[in-house]
Amino acid sequence: TQLLEQSPQFLSIQEGENLTVYCNSSSVFSSLQWYRQEPGEGPVLLVTVVTGGEVKKLKRLTFQFGDARKDSSLHITAAQPGDTGLYLCAGADTGTASKLTFGTGTRLQVTL
């Protein structure tokens, strides 16, 4: 059984601070996706990383896929209240980008 563990589980920070969320597994994935989910809504895809060592940036968010494709990180610079939400990583096997193994989630709260 593939498992993805995220850390930390909860994070409460003030506006302007930086943070990093980690997603770790003992399994290799062909790709890894990051989602943000807000209360009462479904997850929304932020990014997909495919190549080991790949780094992608989305405005203030930086995503990295580990060299061995077993782990990933999400770094947010100068967090804003709009970044508040549940961040989920999800791994996919080859040819099955839609059959995902989700992580345990990191709940982020950014206050003024």
Partner 1 sequence: ETGVTQSPTHLIKTRGQQVTLRCSSQSGHNTVSWYQQALGQGPQFIFQYYREEENGRGNFPPRFSGLQFPNYSSELNVNALELDDSALYLCASSPDPNSPLHFGNGTRLTVT
What is the binding site for partner 1 (CB under 8 A)? Answer: 1, 4, 6, 33, 40-45, 48, 88, 90, 95-105
Which residue lies nearer to partner 1 by CB, 40 or 82? 40
Q: How far is the CB of 50 from partner 1 (least distance, A)?
A: 12
Which residue lies nearer to partner 1 by CB, 79 or 88? 88
Which residue lies nearer to partner 1 by CB, 34 or 70? 34
Provide the 8-state DSSP code for 82. G
Q: How far is the CB of 47 from partner 1 (least distance, A)?
A: 10
Which residue lies nearer to partner 1 by CB, 45 or 78? 45
Q: How far is the CB of 4 from partner 1 (least distance, A)?
A: 8
Q: How far is the CB of 15 from partner 1 (least distance, A)?
A: 25
Collapsing DSSP to helix, strand or coil, 83 comes out as: helix
Query: Do 80 and 110 meet the contact criterion of CB atoms below 8 Å apart?
Result: yes
Provide the 8-state DSSP code for 80. -
DSSP-assigned beta bridge partners for residue 48 = 33
Reduced 3-state DSSP string for 8-75: CCEEEEECCCCEEEEEECCCCCCEEEEEEECCCCCCEEEEEECCCCCEEEECCEEEEECCCCCEEEEE
